[in-house]
Amino acid sequence: MHRDDASDLLAFLAVARERNFTRAAAKLGMTQSALSQIIRNLEERLGVRLLNRTTRSVTPTQAGERLFQSIGPKFTEMDSDLAALGEFREKPAGTVRLTATEYAASEILLPALGKLLPKYPDIHVEIIIDYGLTNIVAQQVDAGIRPGELVAKDMIAVRVSPDLRMAVVGSPSYFADRKRPKTPQDLTQHNCLNLRLPTHGGSLYAWEFEKNGRELNVRVEGQLVFNSAGLLLNGALKGLGLAYLTEGHVQPYLSEGRLVRVLSDWCPPFSGYHLYYASRRQPSPAFSLLVEALRYRAK
């Protein structure tokens, strides 16, 4: 079928459905005179009259009705097939690579993904556990999750959690024969579980405290050093020393009495976790859905 025939047949179908040249022309986005000329040209090529025209109405002739009933369903079916292809094109798919700490991955990412991924089976997510400030552009990572105060100013940041607090914790067995610290300086008398972070050039992480506007960074000492918050938690639970972790990380164990918290008055809230990505990044549908699933909405 010639391309002109296809477009002219679509014009004929519009008129046959509307039974009116003015309405059909408006739907097709053309003038009434142009539409009338298209129908006349089609009738001349086919050698048969398709429409009866009066000043008040437009009705198909017998030949026009037969053509309408024959090709109308075919064009409708083609429209449906093309729409189905559009659904495939718009269906979110692809792999999203994220970097996060263990706690953020476990308590923020996984709950959100548990709701998102079953709805979109073509979305895949790779989670990279990292405590450093990963250069997501250089490492070809789509986004990272870190506390808001650590996110670079040139990044787009989306809050994905409420404000955070840190907590110094130890097991009841650890405190059985030790005094509980009342100030950060008292930590020098305790066996503390250290965390080595690549963010700090491989040095040990200094525990950060603040009270009444006074800030203290304490370089604690102890027999064990880890590079994983999960191991810090396990070490504290086993009575091996004091650990410095996010409040949410230890809250279940505090409630159960398996951990004891100290120095809570020296641990004020700070900026919660944010998902960050490069400002020049063009978000894919899959990435946009993930951001929306993670977005924190303050109540």
| Judgement on whether residues 110 and 248 belong to the same structural domain of the protein | no
Separation CA 202–CA 4 (nearest Å): 71
**Amino acid symbol at 74:** K
In this structure, what is the dihedral angle of CA atoms 148, 150, 156, 160, given to the nearest 10 degrees? Answer: -30
Domain CATH for 13: 1.10.10.10
Choose among 290, 274, 229: nearest CA to 94: 290
Separation CA 127–CA 275 (nearest Å): 13
Domain CATH for 151: 3.40.190.10
| Judgement on whether residues 48 and 135 belong to the same structural domain of the protein | no
| Judgement on whether residues 214 and 145 belong to the same structural domain of the protein | no
| Judgement on whether residues 229 and 288 belong to the same structural domain of the protein | no
| Judgement on whether residues 189 and 257 belong to the same structural domain of the protein | yes
Mean pLDDT in each 10-residue stretch from start to end of the chain (299 residues)?
A: 70 86 83 87 88 83 88 78 59 89 91 93 92 74 88 87 94 95 95 81 83 91 92 96 94 96 94 86 83 79
Q: What is the pLDDT of residue 16?
A: 87
Q: What is the pLDDT of residue 299?
A: 46
| Judgement on whether residues 58 and 151 belong to the same structural domain of the protein | no
| Judgement on whether residues 29 and 107 belong to the same structural domain of the protein | no
- Residue 195 located in a structural domain: yes
* Lateral strand order in the sheet of 166-170: 243-246, 166-170, 260-262
| Judgement on whether residues 252 and 190 belong to the same structural domain of the protein | yes
Q: What is the pLDDT of residue 26?
A: 83
- Residue 86 located in a structural domain: no
- Residue 81 located in a structural domain: no
Q: What is the pLDDT of residue 226?
A: 92
Q: What is the pLDDT of residue 208?
A: 92
pTM: 0.64
Domain count, the chain: 3
